[in-house]
Amino acid sequence: MAQHGFLPRMQAYFFDLDGCIYHGDRLSAGVVPLLDRLRQQGLSYVFLTNNSRLGAAEIGSRLEAMGLTVPDDRILPVTDIAGKYLRDKYGKLSVKTIGSDSLARNIAEAGHTPIAWDAPGADVVIVGRDTEFHYNKLQRIAADIGHGSRLIATNPDRYHPGQFGERVPETGSLLAAIEAVTGKTAECIGKPEPYMFEQAMQLCGAAPDSCVMVGDNLETDIRGSRQAGLRSVWITNGSAPGPAAEGGAEVLESRSSAAGFAPSGPARPDVVVNDMEELYQLVMQG
C-alpha cells in the first residue's frame, strides 16, 4: 500500500499554521481546496499552533485577511489552552505571566490569580514569547524559581522563521536563559507535548488512530503527533526529497538538528510532501 493509504480512513486533520497553512502573510496554494474537500466529506479539522502571543480570534482575523474563513473554535493556539492546562493539572494557582497580554488574559479567565512580574513570588511562572523580556525580569524570575515557583513554558521552540527567512527568537530562547540561571528545566504545554493533541482530539471526538497531523517542524509537529499516537504528514517546503526518494532519513536527522532542538529518538513522518498542494492531490486520489 502506498505510504498515504491511510488518509481516506482519517476522521480529523490537524494542521500547523506557520510554514503549512501560510508563509508570512501568504496563504499556501492548495489550502482552500483541501479544506473544502474535508468539509464536503464531513471531516473535522483543527489548526494547532505553538503561537503563544495570539488567541484564536486574533489568528482568525489574520487568516480572514489572507482569504481563509475559519470558525474560531477550529483554531487552537497554546495561548488559549495555557490557563486550562494549569487548572486541569494543578487547580487554581497564583501565576506570573512572562508573555503577551492575550496569554495573561487567558490565564486570568481560567480562574488563576495574576501576579505582576515585579511582585515577589507565585505558584507558577509561565513563560511565553515575551517581546519585552529584559535583564531585570530574568533576575526576578530566577529569585521566584529559587523560592519554589514552578517553571512552565508555553512551547519549547527556540526560534521561528521570519518573513525573509531570518530567525525570530521564540519562547525557547528566553527559556534557555532562565534555565541557565536557575538550573531548572521547564515543563512545556504546546507541541510536542501531548496536551494540545489531546485537546484537539476531544474537540473532534476522534481517537488517535483516526487523526493525522500535518506540520513542517519535525521536532514539534511530527515527533509530538507520533508520541500521541497520531499519523503525520511532513511538509518539507522543498527541503527534502519526495516520498519515494532514498536517503530521506539523513535529511530528517539533519533537519532535526537544524530546528534548534537536541534530537532524541526518531521523528519520522508517515508521509512526506513538499507542500499543501501536493497533500491536496494525495487526498483527492482517495
Footprint of Mg ion (CB under 5 A): 16, 18-19, 216-217
Interstrand relation of 187-188 and 150-153 (parallel, antiparallel or unpaired): parallel
Q: For residues 157 and 169, what is the distance between their CA atoms, to the nearest angstrom? A: 9
10 versus 222: smaller Cβ distance to Mg ion: 222
| Least distance to Mg ion, CB of residue 213, Å | 11
Dihedral over Cα of 190, 188, 204, 285: its sign: positive
Q: Name the residue whose CB lies closest to Mg ion.
A: 19
In sequence order, the 6+-apart residues with CB closer than 8 A to the CB of 118 are: 136, 140
216 versus 278: smaller Cβ distance to Mg ion: 216
16 versus 193: smaller Cβ distance to Mg ion: 16
Q: For residues 20 and 14, what is the distance between their CA atoms, to the nearest angstrom? A: 11
55 versus 190: smaller Cβ distance to Mg ion: 190
| Least distance to Mg ion, CB of residue 50, Å | 8
| Least distance to Mg ion, CB of residue 54, Å | 14
148 versus 238: smaller Cβ distance to Mg ion: 238
| Least distance to Mg ion, CB of residue 20, Å | 6
Q: Which of 155, 162, 186, 187 is nearest to 48 (CA)?
A: 155
| Least distance to Mg ion, CB of residue 236, Å | 12
Q: For residues 146 and 269, what is the distance between their CA atoms, to the nearest angstrom? A: 40
